[in-house]
Structures are given as structure tokens and as C-alpha cells.
């Protein structure tokens, strides 16, 4: 852009246009609530004309007084009627009124408001003379039509022409600078306003505040706000938004309270900005007060505000209030739909059990269906949210339907949608489709690369994960902490000790990434898998921070498996010191102490569970077939008839005779408890066995069986699934509380992590 011309040559600043120019800029931009026609002896038929009648009068060639054009042109603005503006324009030329600067300047405004800057520029170019009102009108049109760079050029031309900007002109110029992020040019205009002592003007101050905010200079934005002599609601809203946009939500809320104390009534933009900051801070109490204020001011029906309030309740976990707002809405926007879909996704995370989570996911799918049937077009946020829901639901079929829709609408090329699609296929156990979706992405972010590396690692495809990591580096993408978690996890699955330690060192030396708990967890997991318990313990001792419950439980599981009682009891003591909050960890401790007849320690663990209100595990699994959910518990033999149990007995017999399953029966089953509080006998089959038998009986022969289990699988069930996947040539995918297990031809994607259970 050309350098900004010197303001010194323009002389003193003139704040008002010449009195001979009919009106100020505000007349051109003010919207009239109704049209009032002046009385005229020569145009009495026009006194009460409506818009269509006026057009017909013009077509008939009737004469209209000059002053009557203004309300008619204003009606064109209200209707965004470009054709109407052209008709009036023709009549204006025909009657010779085009020599009137006021009418023609108003016509510039009309064309701009109708989105035709080409016509606006042509009218402006033919003006018999140009005053500051005309220049400002043209600039305003370009800014409102997203051509702020042209508006700046018009502003420069105006100065070279010798016309003096008003305070309103400077405000528009500053808005243009803000739109194109031209802070240097904005500073020159700021300096000009200071030189002529109008930086205190409301219009100039508001624009300066917005400019500095967009350029991430909050201090200057606040200074500009404080200089304003007469602060209006736009001024307060500008500084509040500036704080929110620059991650100073608390400061923004303080300005809001000052605004109310100054008896300035907020508008819808103020309230939505404040509610957004409440979401950022998760300040439910303040947000509830803003909700009440919006009702008091009559803004509750406002869709933008209702969306903001609903999103606040969703973010703060008040799903009941959010759903009541949603269900009470007569009018909805795409933002409304997206918010409630994302809200159901959050509810899935906080659900008390997997079945409740599945129900919330089903509701999200229903809202997405409603979105498609209501005339809205899903955007990238709709697709990414619903794909995330599908991944949490283990709902591959629904995810495939969403995938097809992204192809149809052209949203698949978006990186956010593409990454969500990769995650969905991975979480649903389809690594092949996840890989295909990744390869088809037109552009990839660090998150995309990291997601695919983690997907390969979770599915036991170590070489693919490491090769993809090297490809990422060749593409110039710098890995982060999470990327290295995926790489180290891949090495752990394959027992690649040297490679894992090499990557661990590279992470620190080449990329200056300090190891966190997840990195150490991968190394310890690797050593425990390989039976190298002492090496795992050495890694723990080298950590820069205390080990957490997960790391100690990993080592304890390895000690129990390998019979290392000395180290096992030491680890158990460390776990007790942490007072574990996970029920499975406590059960691991109980089994450890019971096997050694250390009943005093058993009592300690039981007391700890009472103190933490940890209940014994309720073994429970479910499977979805044709959108219907079937749940299974070990004690419900009558729920699905004798056929399923007979078939399960047949599967067990085949496993024992053909695969040597007998040796697995000696493994101690995890203790589970019925709702009545009775401990189940050890010969009761775990729920995932019932679910897989039901799936084999009721699903097509080639269809993969997908099961969700609320707790970790025991070693016996893990090996049983390996046997069945080999015997029946079926793909069995089970997602338990710890990880995804994909059983194919007698092998599991977890790398036999089940041996640690």
C-alpha cells in the first residue's frame, strides 16, 4: 500500500460539513422507522404512496419533488432493493435531479447498502461537487462491503483532494485500518486526532479502541477508551470485547460492572460478549446474573443471547438448564444446533455410566438429524462435533453416514473435519479407514499427524507409526509433547527399547521438550510388558516429579504377574500413600494382599474404599445391533434365553479343546458385586463373553462385533476373545475402561497388554 499522505497539508480539521450541503453524514446512515412524505402541490399523488406505487408512478413519468426521493431511496435500503434503486436513479437523471448533491450522495449510500459498490463509485465519480459527506459515504460503503483496502485508498484520495475529514470520517478510516490489520496507518490517524484535539470524540475513541484490540494491544485500547469524553454503549462494548479478545476476561467483567454503575444500559452485543467471557472463566454465578439482567431488559427472546446463555450452561455442566432453553426455543440458528450437539458430547464425558453416555450420544444424533431436516447446512463445527460423538458412542455406521455427507457437502477438505474423521474411525476400531481418511486429507496440521501416529500406536502398528513420524519431520512439521507420546507408545507396544530410549533423548535434546508423566508412563509400560521390572523402577526413580496412581498401578500389575512380591509390596505401600481413587487400582491391591494372606492390609484397602466411597466393580457390557442397545450382566441368565448360554458353553468347550483354554481357568476373576450387594461366584461368565455370544448369534457372518465394557477385561476373557476370533474368523472389537482391543485371527492390537490385567 502506498505510504499515508501527510496530514499537515490539509490545514486545520473541520469537524462539520458545510451548511450548504443539506445534511451531515448521520442523515445518510440513519434508518427511518416509517416513511413520511412532505406535502407538495406538484406531487400530491405521492403523499401516501407505498413502495410499489412509487415505482409505478416513476414508470408513468410523473414528476416527483426532490425531497420525496429521500424516503423512497430509504425504502430501497430497507428492502435491499437494487432494482428499485436503479429505477429511481433513472428517474432522477430523467428529471434532472442528478445535479442535486444531496440526493446523489444519498444514492451512493443506497447502492452501497444494496451491495453494489461499482454503481456507488460511478455515482460518486459523476457528482457535480464532492463534500466530506460524499467521501465519508463512499468510504463507509467500502468498509461495510468488506473492501476496507479500497476505503483507505478513498480516504487518501480525499485528503489529496483537499477535503477535511470529520470525526466520523476518521472513525470509518480507523475501522478500515482495523479490518486490514494496518496498525501503523491507524497510529497515524490517531496522531492526527490528537493533534486536532478530537481523540476524546466518541466515534474516534470507539474505533481506536477496536483497532488496538484487534492488533493485540490491549493497553492502548483501554487508554483510547478512557480518553473518550462521552462514553456510550458502543464505547463500553468495545472495551469489554477488547478484554475478551485479548484473554483478559476478568478485566472485561470489571468494565461491565463499571458500565452498569455508570447507568449505561447494555445492548445485545454487550451481553453476548459478557456471557462469552463467563464461559471462558466458567463463572456460572456471574453468568446467571447476566441471564437475569437480559430477561429484565427484554432480551431473552434474542437468539444470540439465548445461544450464549445456553452455551454457558453447557460449559458449566448445567445441562438441564441448557436443554430447557433449547427445548423452549421456537427459532433456532445453526449456532444453537451446534452448541447443543457439542453439549451432548460433554454430557457423554460426564455420564455416570456408558449406557447413559450412549443415550446422550443418541440425543446428539437426533439433533443432528433435526439440523439436516430444518433447512440448515451443517458447517465444519457441526461435522466435527457429531463425528466426535460417534467416536465416543463406538457408532461406526452413523460415522460412515456423516462421512458420506461431508463428501457430498465438500467439507471433507477442511482439516478440522478430516482430523475428526480420522479419530472417529480409530476410536471405532477401523484403522484401515482412519489411514485412508488421513491420506485423502488435502492439508494436514500437527494435530492431524499426531492423531494418525497415535491411531497406529493404539492398533499395534508400530512400524507405520514410526514411519509416519519420520514423514512428518520431512514435511517440516515440528512434533510436540503429544506427538512423542504416540511415538513412545508405539515403541512400547513392540518392545523396542533402544528405539524408545532414542526417541526419548531426541525429544529432549533436539526439540527441547521436557518429559511429562505421559512420556514416562510409556517407558514404564514398555519395561513392564517385557518383564523388566527393575528397569521400570529405575525410570520411576529418575522422574523429576512424584509418580501418579497410574504409574504405580502399572508396576504393581507387572509384579503380580511375575510374582515379584518384594517389589510388589513396596509399590503397594506407595499406592496406599496416594489413597487411590480408582476402584480397579484398589481391587488390584486387594488381590495382591489376599494372595499373600495379609489380611490387615486387606482391611486398610477396604477402609480406604469406604472413605473414598468407592464401590466394588459392576461388570457390565453392551452391544448395539441395528440401532438397538443390548446390555449384559453376569447374573442375568434369563434375560436373553437359554440359546445364547448354550452357545456360549459351546464356544468355551471349543476354546478348551482346540486352543488349550483350560490353562486360563485358574486365573482369579475380578471380584464383582450385584446391586443387592452379594458377591458373585467365580464360575459366572463375565459380561463381555455373553455379549460376544449374542453378537455371533444375531449379526451377519462377516460383520465385526463391537462391544463396550465398563471395566477392564480380565486375562481370562482377553485370551478367550483371542481364541474366538481365531475359531470363528471374526473381528471382535472391545473397548474397555482402559483401551481398545481389536482381536483378529487370535491376536490383539494391545500387544497382549491383557496379560497385565
Domains of the chain, residue spans:
621-659+684-748
Banded pLDDT at 60 (limits 50, 70, 90): low
Q: Are strands 732-735 and 705-709 parallel, antiparallel or unpaired?
A: parallel
- Edge-to-edge order in the sheet of strand 747-748: 628-632, 621-625, 705-709, 732-735, 740-744, 747-748
Cell matching residue 231 = 462514553
Q: What is the pLDDT of residue 215?
A: 85
Query: Mutual orientation of helices 69-79 and 51-60 as an angle, nearest 10°?
Result: 120
Q: Any idea what DSSP says for residue 77?
A: H
Banded pLDDT at 35 (limits 50, 70, 90): very low
Which has the minimum average pLDDT: 238-247, 518-527, 685-694? 685-694
**How do residues 170-190 score in pLDDT, each as one tens digit?**
888 888 888 888 888 888 888
Higher pLDDT, 674 or 604: 604
Is 281 within 8 Å of 271 (Cβ atoms)? Answer: no
Q: What is the mean pLDDT of the chain?
A: 82
Cell matching residue 717 = 476373557
Torsion angles phi and psi, residue 266, rounded to 5? -70, 155
d(CA 632, CA 620): 6
- Judged by phi (left if over 0) then psi (alpha if -120 to 50, else beta), residue 302 lies in beta
Sign of dihedral through CA atoms 62, 63, 67, 70?
Answer: positive
Q: Any idea what DSSP says for residue 434?
A: H
- What is the full DSSP assignment across 207-253? HHHHHHHHTT-HHHHHHHHHH-SS--HHHHHHHHHHHHHTT-HHHHH
d(CA 465, CA 569): 36
- 733 three-state secondary structure: strand
d(CA 652, CA 724): 9
Strand partners, 735: 708, 740
Alpha helices per DSSP H over 530-640: 533-542, 549-562, 565-578, 583-595, 599-611
Which has the minimum average pLDDT: 349-363, 570-584, 655-669, 682-696? 655-669
pLDDT of residue 378 exceeding 80, the answer is: yes
Is 582 within 8 Å of 617 (Cβ atoms)? Answer: no
Cell matching residue 7 = 496530514
- The position carrying cell 490491549 is 218
Q: What is the pLDDT of residue 257?
A: 95
Q: What is the pLDDT of residue 674?
A: 41
- The position carrying cell 460524499 is 134
Percentage above 90 pLDDT, the chain: 35
Which of 514, 551, 519, 518 lies closest to 536, judged by CA? 551
Q: What is the pLDDT of residue 638?
A: 62
Cα dihedral 346, 350, 353, 354 in deg (nearest 10):
20
pLDDT of residue 592 exceeding 80, the answer is: yes
d(CA 73, CA 104): 10
Is 429 within 8 Å of 740 (Cβ atoms)? Answer: yes
- 750 three-state secondary structure: coil
| Mean pLDDT, rounded, for 500-514 | 95
Strand partners, 743: 732, 748
d(CA 184, CA 556): 62
Banded pLDDT at 718 (limits 50, 70, 90): confident
| Mean pLDDT, rounded, for 679-688 | 65
Q: Which residues of 443-467 are buried (b: 16+ CB within 10 A; e: fewer)?
A: ebeebbbbbbbbbbbbbbbbebbbe
pLDDT of residue 77 exceeding 90, the answer is: no
Cell matching residue 220 = 492502548
d(CA 332, CA 608): 50
Percentage above 70 pLDDT, the chain: 86
Alpha helices per DSSP H over 30-68: 51-60
d(CA 111, CA 121): 9
- 24 three-state secondary structure: coil
**How do residues 305-317 score in pLDDT, each as one tens digit?**
999 999 899 888 8
Is 92 within 8 Å of 70 (Cβ atoms)? Answer: no
d(CA 542, CA 538): 6
Q: Please count the other Cβ atoms lying within 10 Å of the Cβ belonging to residue 74.
A: 20
Is 143 within 8 Å of 113 (Cβ atoms)? Answer: no
Q: Are strands 740-744 and 747-748 parallel, antiparallel or unpaired?
A: antiparallel
Q: What is the pLDDT of residue 80?
A: 78
d(CA 663, CA 721): 15
Q: What share of the chain is helix, strand, coil (3-state, %, to 5)?
A: 65, 5, 30
pLDDT of residue 16 exceeding 60, the answer is: no
| Mean pLDDT, rounded, for 379-383 | 94
Q: What is the pLDDT of residue 53?
A: 57
Q: What is the pLDDT of residue 157?
A: 87
| Mean pLDDT, rounded, for 560-580 | 88
- 753 three-state secondary structure: helix
Cell matching residue 691 = 455379549
| Mean pLDDT, rounded, for 645-666 | 70
Strand partners, 726: none
**How do residues 261-299 score in pLDDT, each as one tens digit?**
999 999 999 999 999 999 999 899 999 999 999 999 999
pLDDT of residue 482 exceeding 90, the answer is: yes
| Mean pLDDT, rounded, for 464-468 | 96
Is 114 within 8 Å of 82 (Cβ atoms)? Answer: yes
- CA 253-321-314 angle, to 5 degrees, is 60
Q: How far is CA 626 from CA 236, 364, 396, 692, 695, in A?
A: 55, 18, 12, 16, 12
Q: Please count the other Cβ atoms lying within 10 Å of the Cβ belonging to residue 440.
A: 13
Q: What is the pLDDT of residue 695?
A: 92
Q: Are strands 621-625 and 705-709 parallel, antiparallel or unpaired?
A: antiparallel
Higher pLDDT, 611 or 110: 110
Which has the minimum average pLDDT: 108-117, 361-370, 467-476, 490-499? 108-117
Higher pLDDT, 24 or 187: 187
Higher pLDDT, 253 or 42: 253
| Mean pLDDT, rounded, for 107-129 | 87
- 539: Cβ–Cβ under 8 A, 6 or more apart, which residues? 520, 523, 524, 527
Q: Is the pTM of this model over 0.85?
A: no
Q: Are strands 628-632 and 732-735 parallel, antiparallel or unpaired?
A: unpaired
d(CA 755, CA 757): 6
Which has the minimum average pLDDT: 36-50, 397-411, 444-458? 36-50
| Mean pLDDT, rounded, for 237-256 | 94
Cell matching residue 156 = 487518501
Is 32 within 8 Å of 71 (Cβ atoms)? Answer: yes
Higher pLDDT, 498 or 216: 498
pLDDT of residue 212 exceeding 50, the answer is: yes
**How do residues 450-460 score in pLDDT, each as one tens digit?**
999 999 998 88
Cell matching residue 731 = 473381528
- Exposed, middle or buried: residue 124 (CB in 10 Å: 0-12, 13-18, 19+)? buried
Q: Please count the other Cβ atoms lying within 10 Å of the Cβ belonging to residue 680.
A: 16
- The position carrying cell 471380584 is 671
pLDDT of residue 574 exceeding 70, the answer is: yes
Amino acid at each position: 500500500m502506498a505510504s499515508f499522505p501527510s496530514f499537515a497539508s490539509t490545514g486545520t480539521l473541520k469537524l462539520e460539513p458545510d451548511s450548504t450541503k443539506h445534511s451531515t453524514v448521520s442523515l445518510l446512515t440513519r434508518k427511518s422507522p416509517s416513511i413520511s412524505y412532505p406535502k407538495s402541490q406538484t406531487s400530491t399523488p405521492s403523499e401516501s404512496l407505498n413502495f410499489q406505487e412509487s415505482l409505478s408512478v416513476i414508470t408513468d413519468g410523473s414528476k416527483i419533488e426532490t425531497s420525496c426521493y429521500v424516503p423512497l431511496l430509504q425504502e430501497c435500503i430497507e428492502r435491499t432493493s437494487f432494482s428499485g434503486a436503479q429505477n429511481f436513479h433513472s428517474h432522477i437523471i430523467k428529471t434532472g435531479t442528478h445535479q442535486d448533491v444531496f440526493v446523489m450522495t444519498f444514492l451512493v449510500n443506497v447502492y452501497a447498502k444494496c451491495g453494489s459498490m461499482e454503481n456507488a463509485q460511478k455515482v460518486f465519480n459523476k457528482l457535480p461537487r464532492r463534500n466530506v459527506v460524499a467521501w465519508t459515504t463512499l468510504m463507509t460503503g467500502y468498509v461495510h462491503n468488506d473492501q476496507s483496502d479500497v476505503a483507505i485508498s478513498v480516504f487518501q484520495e480525499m485528503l489529496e483532494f483537499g477535503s477535511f475529514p470529520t470525526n466520523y470520517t476518521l472513525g470509518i478510516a480507523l475501522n478500515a485500518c482495523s479490518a486490514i490489520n494496518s496498525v501503523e496507518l491507524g497510529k497515524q490517524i490517531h496522531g492526527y486526532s490528537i493533534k486536532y484535539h478530537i481523540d476524546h470524540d466518541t466515534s474516534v475513541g470507539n474505533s481506536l479502541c477496536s483497532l488496538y484490540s484487534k492488533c493485540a494491544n490491549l493497553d492502548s485500547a483501554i487508554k483510547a477508551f478512557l480518553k473518550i469524553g462521552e462514553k456510550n454503549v458502543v464505547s463500553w462494548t468495545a472495551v469489554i470485547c477488547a478484554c475478551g479478545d485479548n484473554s483478559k476476561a476478568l478485566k472485561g467483567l470489571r468494565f461491565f460492572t463499571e458500565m452498569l454503575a455508570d447507568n449505561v444500559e447494555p445492548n445485545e452485543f454487550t451481553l453476548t460478549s459478557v456471557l462469552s467471557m463467563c464461559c471462558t472463566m466458567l463463572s456460572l454465578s456471574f453468568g446467571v446474573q447476566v441471564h437475569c439482567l437480559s430477561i429484565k431488559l427484554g432480551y431473552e427472546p434474542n437468539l444470540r443471547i439465548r445461544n450464549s446463555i445456553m452455551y454457558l450452561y453447557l460449559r458449566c455442566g448445567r445441562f438441564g438448564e441448557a436443554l430447557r432453553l433449547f427445548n423452549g426455543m421456537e427459532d433456532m440458528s445453526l449456532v444453537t444446533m451446534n452448541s447443543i450437539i457439542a453439549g451432548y458430547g460433554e454430557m457423554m464425558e460426564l455420564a455416570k455410566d456408558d449406557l447413559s453416555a450412549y443415550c446422550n450420544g443418541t440425543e446428539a444424533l437426533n439433533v443432528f438429524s433435526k439440523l439436516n431436516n430444518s433447512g440448515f447446512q451443517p458447517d465444519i463445527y457441526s461435522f466435527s462435533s457429531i463425528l466426535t460423538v460417534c467416536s465416543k458412542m463406538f457408532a461406526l455406521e452413523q460415522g460412515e453416514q456423516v462421512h458420506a455427507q461431508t463428501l457430498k457437502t465438500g467439507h471433507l477438505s477442511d482439516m478440522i473435519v478430516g482430523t475428526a474423521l480420522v479419530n472417529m474411525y480409530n476410536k471405532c476400531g477401523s484403522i484401515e479407514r482412519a489411514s485412508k481418511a488421513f491420506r485423502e486429507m488435502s492439508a494436514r496440521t500437527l494435530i492431524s499427524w499426531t492423531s494418525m501416529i497415535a491411531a497406529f500406536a493404539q492398533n499395534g502398528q508400530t512400524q507405520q507409526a514410526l514411519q509416519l513420524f519420520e514423514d512428518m519431520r520431512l514435511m517440516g512439521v515440528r512434533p510436540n509433547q503429544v506427538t512423542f507420546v504416540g511415538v513412545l507408545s508405539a515403541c512400547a507396544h513392540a518392545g523396542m527399547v533402544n528405539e524408545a530410549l532414542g526417541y526419548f533423548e531426541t525429544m529432549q535434546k533436539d526439540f527441547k521438550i521436557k518429559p511429562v508423566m505421559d512420556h514416562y508412563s510409556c517407558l514404564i509400560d514398555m519395561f513392564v510388558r517385557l518383564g523388566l521390572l527393575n528397569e521400570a523402577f529405575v525410570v520411576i526413580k529418575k522422574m523429576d516429579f512424584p509418580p501418579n496412581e497410574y504409574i504405580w498401578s502399572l508396576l504393581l500389575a507387572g509384579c503380580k504377574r511375575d510374582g515379584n512380591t518384594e517389589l510388589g509390596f513396596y509399590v503397594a505401600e506407595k499406592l496406599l500413600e496416594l489413597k487411590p481413587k480408582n476402584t480397579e487400582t484398589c481391587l488390584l491391591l486387594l488381590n495382591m494382599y489376599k494372595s499373600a494372606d495379609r489380611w490387615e492390609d486387606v482391611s486398610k484397602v477396604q477402609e480406604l474404599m469406604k472413605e473414598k466411597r468407592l464401590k466394588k466393580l459392576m461388570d457390565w457390557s453392551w452391544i448395539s445391533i441395528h440401532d438397538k442397545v443390548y446390555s449384559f450382566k453376569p447374573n442375568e441368565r434369563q434375560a436373553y434365553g437359554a440359546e445364547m448360554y448354550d452357545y456360549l458353553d459351546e464356544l468355551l468347550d471349543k476354546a478348551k479343546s482346540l486352543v488349550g483354554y483350560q490353562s486360563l481357568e485358574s486365573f482369579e476373576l475380578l471380584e464383582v458385586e450385584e446391586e443387592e450387594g452379594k458377591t458373585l461366584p467365580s464360575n459366572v461368565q463375565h459380561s463381555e463373553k455373553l455379549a460376544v455370544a449374542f453378537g455371533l448369534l444375531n449379526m451377519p457372518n462377516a460383520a465385526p462385533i463391537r462391544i463396550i465394557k465398563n471395566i477392564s477385561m480380565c486375562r481370562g476373557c482377553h485370551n478367550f476373545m483371542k481364541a474366538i476370533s481365531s475359531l470363528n474368523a471374526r473381528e471382535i472389537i472391545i473397548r474397555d475402561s482402559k483401551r481398545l482391543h481389536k482381536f483378529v485371527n487370535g491376536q490383539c492390537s494391545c500387544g497382549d497388554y491383557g496379560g497385565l490385567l
